[in-house]
Amino acid sequence: MNKKNLSILTLILSLLLSFGLLYFQDFFIHAQKLGLLGIFLINFFSSATFFVSGPAFLTVIAGGAIYPPLLVAFIASVGASFGDMISYVFGFSGRNLALVRLRKKIWFVVLEDLFVEYGKIFVFVLALIPNPFFDAVGLLAGVMGMKYYQFFIIMLTGRFARFVVLALIGAKL
């Protein structure tokens, strides 16, 4: 499969997931009853959709009250990280087109230099703090050519740190 087809497939998959998140809201309510698997699924689907995320962090807080907080944080961060890989793959598959079109723009050259220098820190910090822009970070990391395993590990680490705090809050409630 070439990069263009992969881009199209990734976009279609993300749009279907976004639509599914809105249309099958009852599934997510019932998924909470699935325990750790439900926490994984909710965090995966919430992160896999472009710019339409659900309140998946609530499952981490609720899960921390029921299960060991570190286990909940790990399950949720793995689910969210795999979901966020979709935006990375989309960015990476469109990398050549983006570089051809945007390298002529001075703002992109500056952004590229900043990302080469601080990209790992940028990904970690934005994975650590709750924000609606993380899909764009995945796209950017893909376009900039960050290695997929680096992106995944850094993102997983940031998500895990955030979810540990949330699961511990749930354990205290």
Inter-CA distances, 68 with 47, 64, 74, 136, 161, Å: 23, 6, 10, 32, 15
pTM beyond 0.85:
no
- Contact between 76 and 43 (Cβ < 8 Å): yes
Predicted confidence (pLDDT) per residue in 94-145, tens digit: 888 878 788 788 888 888 889 889 999 999 999 999 877 787 888 889 999 8
pLDDT of residue 154: 97
Residue 145 contacts residue 116 (beta carbons within 8 Å): no
Residue 30: predicted pLDDT: 55
Q: Crossing angle for the helix pair 148-172 and 106-128, nearest 10 degrees?
A: 40
- Return the higher-pLDDT residue of 10 and 98: 98
Greater pLDDT, 154 or 49: 154
The half-sphere exposure of 64 on its side-chain side, counting CA atoms within 13 A, is: 23
Domain housing 97: 3-172
Reported residue count of the chain is 173
pLDDT tens-digit map of 66-83: 899 999 999 999 999 999
pLDDT at 92 over 80: yes
Count of domains observed in the chain: 1
Q: Which structure tokens are listed for 135? A: 């899909």
Measured CA to CA, the distance from residue 118 to residue 132 in angstroms comes to 20
